[in-house]
Amino acid sequence: MVKVCIPRALLYYQYYPAWKTFFERLGAEVIISPPTNKTILNLGVSRAVADTCLPVKLFFGHVMSMMGKCDYIFAPAVTSLGNKAYNCSKIIGLPDMTRALIPECPAILGPEINLDKGRYHFYRNIYDLGRYFTSNPFKIKKAVEESWRSNLAYQGKMSSEGLTPVEAIDIMCHGRQEPDSGPAPSLSLAIAVIGHPYVIGDDYLSHRLIHLLESMGVKVLVPEMVPEGTLYDAAKRLVGTPHWSFETDIIGAGEYYMEEGVDGVIDLSVFGCGPDSMMVNFVQHRAKELKIPFLHLSVDEHTSDGGLLTRVEAFLDMIKWREKICV
């Protein structure tokens, strides 16, 4: 059986259920790299140019950790998801960078997904991708349809049940049990954590920020819990038609949750993230207007658990203190 490796980094958190379905329907075995750890980080850092942002370095680390264990590495270049909005250059150049930096890695499946170039271009690329596994076009078509359905199910699960991407993937793909919806613990604060799912979802990168907040009795809201159309509209209200596909979710969520009246917003971004550096500025400005506490957390290779904890604690204390005074 052909083994396809999906590195547990970057777009894994957005599309894993869809990709898994697609490859499995084509008769391939899908394996994912282990959760991020220090070794994987060091592997990635050793290859990439120093200025590269941390999630991309981690991607290289994940690829290197899977060397010799699979036949193909899946690293798509997701250029555009339509609406004249593009993605960050590093995501567009991902297969090319992987090929250049890790010459010894197994064959890379790097289709270009560019919905801006029209349907034909997209279908053609997907078909070419499927041809690696089967020569039967109907089988590919069926795989694509099922993959699309599982993507919708994944998104629906997150927005209807209020799950984070990692929880939803655990339930859908790894057969973990759904958490008991027993008596909900009394959560005093609702805080929106905005940021790329590959930063928030990666326990090593985010220093388990979500668990940390939950253990402090905070209800955490992430962008994926809101349907995509709502996010797009909210982003449009804030900056007009967005140019970056993935930023739409982040600033849209910021705007949406602030309008809903959350107690605070935490932006978790990595150092050197180009799109975030511009877009979060607009959310921050809006938070100032609405007088909602806003915390910008920037993580990199050198961020420590302790430093992050102190800042989050101080932020929560500030919110509680503020509410006491206002009431």
Binding residues for another protein restricted to 1-20, rule: CB under 8 A: none
Cβ-based nearer residue to another protein, 158 or 273? 273
- Residues 77, 144, 258, 292: which binds another protein (CB under 8 A)? 77
Judged by CB under 8 A, does residue 128 bind another protein? Answer: no
H-assigned helices in 133-264: 137-161, 165-173, 197-200, 203-206, 209-215, 228-239, 245-260
* CA nearest to 188, candidates 40, 62, 51, 327: 327
Binding residues for another protein restricted to 288-327, rule: CB under 8 A: 298
Q: In what order do the strands lie in the sheet with 294-299?
A: 218-221, 189-194, 264-270, 294-299
Q: What tokens does 257 get?
A: 């949750």
CB of 3 to another protein, least distance (A): 26
* CA nearest to 258, candidates 229, 285, 290, 220: 290
Binding residues for another protein restricted to 97-126, rule: CB under 8 A: 97, 99-101, 103, 112
Cα separation, 97 vs 293, in Å, equals 39
Stretch that binds another protein, among 143-151, 190-198, 223-231, 280-288 (CB under 8 A): 280-288
CB of 1 to another protein, least distance (A): 31
CB of 247 to another protein, least distance (A): 9
Contact call for residues 120 and 79 (beta carbons, < 8 A): no
Cβ-based nearer residue to another protein, 84 or 291? 84
Q: How many amino acids of this chain bind another protein (CB under 8 A)?
A: 40
CB of 139 to another protein, least distance (A): 28
Q: Which residues pair with 80 in a beta bridge?
A: 86, 114
* CA nearest to 198, candidates 4, 5, 7: 7
Contact call for residues 78 and 91 (beta carbons, < 8 A): yes
**Gyration radius of the chain's alpha carbons:** 20
User: How far, rounded to the nearest angstrom, does the alpha carbon of residue 33 sit from its chain's CA centroid?
Assistant: 16
Stretch that binds another protein, among 33-41, 86-94, 218-226, 314-322 (CB under 8 A): 86-94
Stretch that binds another protein, among 43-51, 67-75, 199-207, 220-228 (CB under 8 A): 43-51
CB of 47 to another protein, least distance (A): 9
Binding residues for another protein restricted to 46-65, rule: CB under 8 A: 48-49, 51-53
Centre a 10 Å sphere on the Cβ of residue 179 and count the other Cβ atoms it contains.
Answer: 11
Judged by CB under 8 A, does residue 89 bind another protein? Answer: yes
Binding residues for another protein restricted to 147-206, rule: CB under 8 A: none
- Residues 96, 178, 317, 323: which binds another protein (CB under 8 A)? 96
Contact call for residues 162 and 235 (beta carbons, < 8 A): no
User: Which residues bind to another protein, rule: CB under 8 A?
Assistant: 48-49, 51-53, 77, 79, 84-90, 92-93, 96-97, 99-101, 103, 112, 239-240, 243, 271-282, 285, 298
